Structure 1
Amino acid sequence: MTDGRDELEAQFAQWRHYVRRRRELRSTDVEELEDHLRGSVDELVAAGLHADEAFLVAVKRMGSLDDLSREFAREHSERLWKQLVLTGGGDGPATGGRSRRDLLTMVLCAAGAAASIKAPGLFGLHLDQDEAFYVPNAALFALPWLAAFLALRRRASKPVVGVLVAMFALGAVAANAYPLSTESQSLVLTSIHLPIALWFAVGLAYVSDDPRSARRRMDFIRFTGEWFVYYVLIALGGGVLIAFTFGTFEAIGVSPEGFVSEWLLPCGAVAAVVVAGWLVEAKQSVVENIAPVLTRLFTPLFTAALLAFLVTLVLTGDGIDVEREVLILFDLLLVVVLGLLLYSTSARDPLAPPGLFDRLQLALVAAALAIDVVVLVEITGRITEYGTTPNKAAALGENVVLLVNLAWSAWLVLGLVRRRAPFAALERWQTSYLPVFAVWAWVVVLVFPPVFGHL
């Protein structure tokens, strides 16, 4: 029964992947069509058809997808040539109203983020002098506003809004309640893990229209990758803007350094978090073609780099230095590998036969798994010999969390390559494991400082 359901979900995923390539259909249109298709399938299954037969019949009943797309194109013809325009004057009233409402909401939330990072200045705090305050609170200046934009766009229920407010309030307490000095390891750990914990709060806002849906969690994975691409592009454009600002004002004998460092850079950095989220929501079809390309480009490169590292490690026989900077580097490396796996999973055609790229992924995950084991052995040995510190304890826990994910992912990818496991099993595992990362991040932020005496 489970296998049949997995196969049906894989068919839905393939249909959804195909439909989303049609630029004339927005994500809301796709969701509406999928709801209609699922309802039809459920009726046919209840009537006695097998799941795969019901899917084929339901698709036939909906008519040709090309005809359906053309019907949508006729109803919303402005979308075909105004897709990259911020607001469309000729859009239909519902579509145009939604676009303008989203734009206004984004502007207000981005302005709120910019005001948030300047508000501490009213109490005598300055970016260049009070790092112990600004560094752990950095995520709290931007992510609540991104979550607010998404929650408003999804029309989140009051219970979900209450949970979001509680999570961000808890994050504010974690960032400010403990007496952490600028030399404290716990301050660094909080500064790294709190944004991760709060990003999952953003994820709750993203899936607030259907919090229990595995499909929506996978959509959030896509959103994360696309948001990162847009944010980097905005940051690059911001760098060009700053360079021109310096050049033009200094040409007339005026130094804009104070304005750039105190206003333009901090306000622009936090506002761009909201703007990037809005761009992903508004222009999904543009970036959905970029992120999978980046994944396919970097997967073989990272695979080669990790395999080369393992070969060198074996030949030299040297151990891994487990100082703080090195631990952070290896954890980031494993997170990048996991990100490549997650995003390639979200972009893969679920019914496509296993190919060379799947084998590359298996090699990548296996190499990352081997490195994770080596790092765990080194950390455990150092803790046994010299005792534990917040950095080593956090690295140990993170590597264990990643080890479990990578180990089972490797097994599922191996099953996929050998045609013994469906792709849906890998997709379901990744979306189900996401809360584990969130829980661990909250543990580091809330539990580590008092346990280690705010060291």
Structure 2
Amino acid sequence: MSEDRQDGLEAQFSQWRHYVQRRKELRTSDADELEDHLRGSVDELVGVGLHADEAFLVAVKRMGSLDDLSREFAREHSERLWKQLVLSGDTDGPARDTPRSRRDLFAMIACAAGAALTVKMPEILGKSFEDDPAFYGTNVALLVLPWLAGFLAWRRRASRAVVAVLVGLFAVGAVAANAYPLADESQSLVLTGIHLAIALWFVVGIAYVSDDLRAPRRRMDFVRFTGECFIYYVLIALGGGVLVAFLFGTFAAIGITPDTFVGQWLVPCGAAAASVVAGWLVEAKQSVVENIAPVLTRLFTPLFTAVLLAFLVALAVTSGAIDVEREALILFDLLLVVVLALLLYSISARDPQAPPGLFDKLQLALVVSALVIDVLVLLEITGRITEFGTTPNKAAALGENVILLANLAWSAWLVLGMVRRRTPFAAVERWQTAYLPVFAGWAWVVALVFPPLFGYV
């Protein structure tokens, strides 16, 4: 076999192994065993006259679905799930991994404590939430997310240049949140708070991918990280709610009402620290939620598809117009973002080797339905702006819907091609990862440019 062909084959083995290692049900020894079996099959097929690329594809096909293999290993070694729930590292790995896991745990605790302290620092310095709620509305992401970004940058051993970029972007965010004279009733105040949080989450993304900034695969890993971090945060919040309920109940039994402690310390500090803890959980215990999140996407994709189709049918039957007032705009934008999130996360969890199936057709119906609704909302917004003039809310909604329209339109085309077996799945994935900077850029534009553009109203 020629050297170039051998290099190409090794690259395929490397890509396949990376995909296998995302299945946390499989130990390193399991992955080694599967790779040995795959290499043996490839060598056998090359020996009977197949080209290396053909032999690799045939051998992978013979092995069957990696999801099936993962489930089989999980059934045989079900105790691993419990180990992953209670241990911070892979107990089956070499002993040298334990110090790293311990360092990650200590770093997480330090960053979580830093986030909890920072979120209380303005009040300690005399700026309470009751006196200036607008300050907290625009600054909450600045008080918390730098600690999560710092933890991820430390874990990735980010270079000094990347750290400097992170610090610079958070400094720009601080300017956007505090330099503009925004009144409490200003539309720009709400827009800045929402879009600055989104922009700074993408800064966290830079810290996440700092070990390989240019790799599209790492951007998709960040999409997966976002979804899993959200799930963990919700679970922590639910547990925190139970804790607060027990706290009130037990102390009430002895005549003490811990309102001040819960409202001023436990809830804000716990919420801030939980963001770092959730990020650490995703990094340390991915397999626990990796098995849940794809199930959630498969559950909610058909449900959201049914809701959107029902809405379009009702709109056609009633011949009514879509309300584009502020609350309705937020609702429709949120709906489109949820649709995009379902698409992104299902892409991140999909087996690239799997043929198109019923779920892909459901995704196509979901994206097309969202696309039609986006067009209708855009027409209504444009009509209102033409008739009554623009406002910060309408301008932001117009830009966001245009950006979503472009993404959903090309996504629908690519998913259609994939369902018809004319477009590879990789094209859908590349499109979504390449589009992430567009979302980040628009969030920065709204946070930095809109307030002065609209006279801080």
- Per the normalisation by structure 1, the TM-score is 0.86
Q: Which of 125, 128, 142 lines up with 1:126 in the alignment? A: 128
Quick one: which of 143, 150, 153 aligns to 2:152? 150
Over residues 134-184 of structure 1, what are the superposed CA-to-partner deviations in whole Å (9 max), with x where a residue is unaligned?
Answer: 011111121111000000000000000000001111111101110111100
Question: Matches of 1:338 and 1:347 in 2, distance apart?
Answer: 14
Q: Is contact 1:13–1:350 with CA below 8 Å preserved after alignment? A: no
Equivalent-residue separation in structure 2 for 1:222 and 1:385 (angstroms): 42
Which residues of structure 1 form unaligned runs of 5+? 1-6, 42-48, 60-64, 70-77
Q: Quick one: distance in 2 between partners of 1:54 and 1:187?
A: 60
Q: 1:331 to 1:80 in 2, by over 3 A?
A: closer
List aligned pairs for 1:369-388, cutoff 5 A: 369-388=371-390
Query: 1:36-185 alignment to 2 at 5 Å?
Result: 52-53=53-54, 82-87=83-88, 92-185=94-187
Equivalent residue in structure 2 for 1:345, among 318, 343, 347: 347
User: Judging changes above 3 Å, is the alpha-carbon distance between structure 1 residues 290 and 306 closer, same or farther for their aligned structure 2 residues?
Assistant: same
Aligned to 2:206: 204
Quote the Cα distance in structure 1 between the aligned partners of 2:213 and 2:80: 29
Helix, strand or coil at the partner of 2:255: coil
Q: CA 1:93 to 1:133, structure 2 compared with 1: closer, same or farther past 3 Å?
A: same
SS at match of 1:262: helix
Equivalenced residues, count: 419
Counterpart of 1:303 in structure 2 is 305
Aligned to 2:45: none
Deviation at 1:20, TM superposition (A): 2.3
Determine whether 1:363 maps to 2:362.
Answer: no
**Equivalent of 1:435, from 418, 434, 437?**
437
- Distance, in Å, in 2 between the alignment partners of 1:226 and 1:261 is 27
Map Cα deviations across residues 347-377 of structure 1 (whole Å, 9 max, x no partner).
1111211111000000000000000000000
Q: Counterparts of 2:52 and 2:376 in 1: how far apart (Å)?
A: 45
- For 1:417 and 1:87, the matched residues in 2 are separated by 40
Q: Which moved more, 1:119-128 or 1:337-346?
A: 119-128
1:185-230 CA distance string (max 9 Å, x none): 0000011111110010010000000000001111111111110110
Deviations 1:305-342 (A, max 9, x none): 00011111111111111111110110000000000000
Q: Residue 276 of structure 2 aligns with which residue?
A: 274
Asked if 1:230 corresponds to 2:232, the answer is yes
Deviation at 1:11, TM superposition (A): 8.5
**Contact 2:89-2:284 at 8 Å conserved across structures:** no
Residue aligning to 1:285? 287
Distance 2:181 2:364 in 1: 45
Spell out structure 1 runs of 4+ moving beyond 3 A: 7-19, 53-59, 78-82, 86-93
Secondary structure at the counterpart of residue 401 of structure 1: helix
- For 1:11 and 1:338, the matched residues in 2 are separated by 32
1:213-252 correspondence runs (5 A): 213-252=215-254
Contact 2:89 2:98 (C-alpha < 8 Å) held by counterparts = yes
Contact 1:10 1:350 in 2 (8 A): no
Distance between the aligned counterparts of 1:408 and 1:89, measured in 2?
41
Determine if the alignment matches structure 1 residue 23 to structure 2 residue 25.
Answer: yes
SS of equivalent residue, structure 1 residue 83: helix
Q: Using a 3 Å threshold, how does the CA distance of structure 1 residues 81 and 396 change in structure 2: closer, same or farther? A: closer
Measured after TM superposition, the shift of residue 409 of structure 1 is: 0.1
Distance verdict in 2 for CA 1:98–1:367, change over 3 Å = same
Change over 3 Å in CA distance of 1:165–1:79 after alignment to 2 = farther
Change (3 A) 1:306 1:10: farther
Query: Which residue in 1 is equivalent to 2:5?
Result: none
CA apart distance, 1:93: 3.8
Cα deviation, residue 108, structure 1: 0.3
Aligned-pair Cα RMSD in Å? 2.9
| SS of residue paired to 2:181 | coil
Q: Output the CA distance in 1 between the equivalents of 2:293 and 2:403.
A: 26
Following superposition, the deviation at residue 51 of structure 1 comes to 7.4
Normalising by structure 2, report the TM-score.
Answer: 0.86
User: Is residue 334 from structure 1 mapped to residue 316 from structure 2 by the alignment?
Assistant: no
Answer yes or no: is the 8 Å Cα contact 1:109–1:149 preserved in 2: yes
Residue by residue over 1:407-453, the C-alpha shift from the partner in whole angstroms, topping out at 9 and shown as x without a partner, is 00000000011111000000000000000000000000000000000
CA offsets 1:62-117 (integer angstroms, 9 cap, x no match): xxx9xxx9xxxxxxxx9787322244797744211011000000000000000001
What displacement does 1:25 show? 3.8
Cα separation, 2, equivalents of 1:89 and 1:375: 49
Asked if structure 2 preserves the Cα contact closer than 8 Å seen for 1:217 and 1:431, the reply is: yes
Q: 2:24·2:286 contact (CA, 8 Å) conserved in 1?
A: no
Report the 3-state secondary structure (helix = DSSP H, G, I; strand = E; otherwise coil) of the residue aligned with 2:356.
coil
1:14–1:351 Cα contact (<8 Å) kept: no
Residues 13 and 325 of structure 1, relative CA distance in 2, 3 Å threshold: farther
**Does residue 187 of structure 1 match 2:189?**
yes
